[in-house]
Amino acid sequence: MKFTEEHEWLDLGDDNVVTVGITAHAAEQLGDIVFVELPDEGRTVSKDDEVVVIESVKAASDILAPLDGEIVEVNEAIVDEPGKVNKDPEGEAWFFRLKIEDVSALDDLMDEKAYKDFIGD
C-alpha cells in the first residue's frame, strides 16, 4: 500500500487499477461519518481534483484524486452506510478504483513506515 499526505491509501491491483480510500487515522480524526458522495464511474480525473465529498459530525471534507486516471468503480456500499468508513477504512470501506496510466507515479507516495512517521505514530 501507498499513502498520501492527504491521508489516502492506495492499493495497486491488476491492470493498473488502484483502489483508493482514507486511512484509519483520517477516519478517526473526522469522527462519525454521516454522508459520502462518490464520483461518477467513467470520469477522468487529474491529480488533486476533488472527487469525493465526505461529511462527518465534525466537518465536511473533500477527497482529492491522488493520481491522474479514470474512475472505473465506486463503492456504493459506503453511500448507503457511511459508518462503514469508520469501521473498516482501510478495507471494505474503499471509495473508488482508479485506472492509471503511469504506475511509476506511485513511487512518489509514502510507504507504510513513512506514513506512520508522517502522522507521528
DSSP state of 108: G
Supply the pLDDT for residue 47. 96
Please check whether residue 36 lies inside any domain of the structure. Answer: yes
Question: What's the whole-number mean pLDDT along residues 1-9?
Answer: 96
Q: Is residue 32 part of a domain?
A: yes
Let me know if residue 109 belongs to a domain: no
CATH number reported for the structural domain that contains residue 94 in this entry: 2.40.50.100
Is 105 inside any structural domain? Answer: no
Distance, CA of 16 to chain centre: 16
Q: Which residues contact 4 (CB under 8 A, 6 or more apart)?
A: 10, 66, 109, 110
pLDDT, residue 121, reads 83
> DSSP states of 33-48 as a string?
EEEEEPPPTT-EE-TT
Q: What pLDDT shows up at residue 118?
A: 97
Q: Is residue 8 in some structural domain?
A: yes
Q: What is the mean pLDDT of residues 28-40?
A: 96
Residue 46: inside a domain, yes or no? yes
Give the model confidence (pLDDT) of 39-51 as tens digits. Answer: 999 999 999 999 9
Q: Looking at the domain assignment, is residue 13 inside a domain?
A: yes
Interatomic CA distance for residues 32 and 94, integer angstroms: 16
Domain that holds residue 25: 2-100
Residues 56-100 have pLDDT tens digits of 998 899 999 999 999 999 999 999 999 999 999 999 999 999 999
- pLDDT tens-digit map of 100-117: 999 999 999 999 999 999
Please list, in sequence order, all residues whose beta carbon lies within 8 angstroms of the beta carbon of residue 91, skipping any fewer than 6 positions away. none
- Whether residue 74 is contained in a domain is answered as yes
What total of structural domains would you count in the chain? Answer: 1
pLDDT digits (tens, 9 = 90+) for 16-30: 999 999 999 999 999
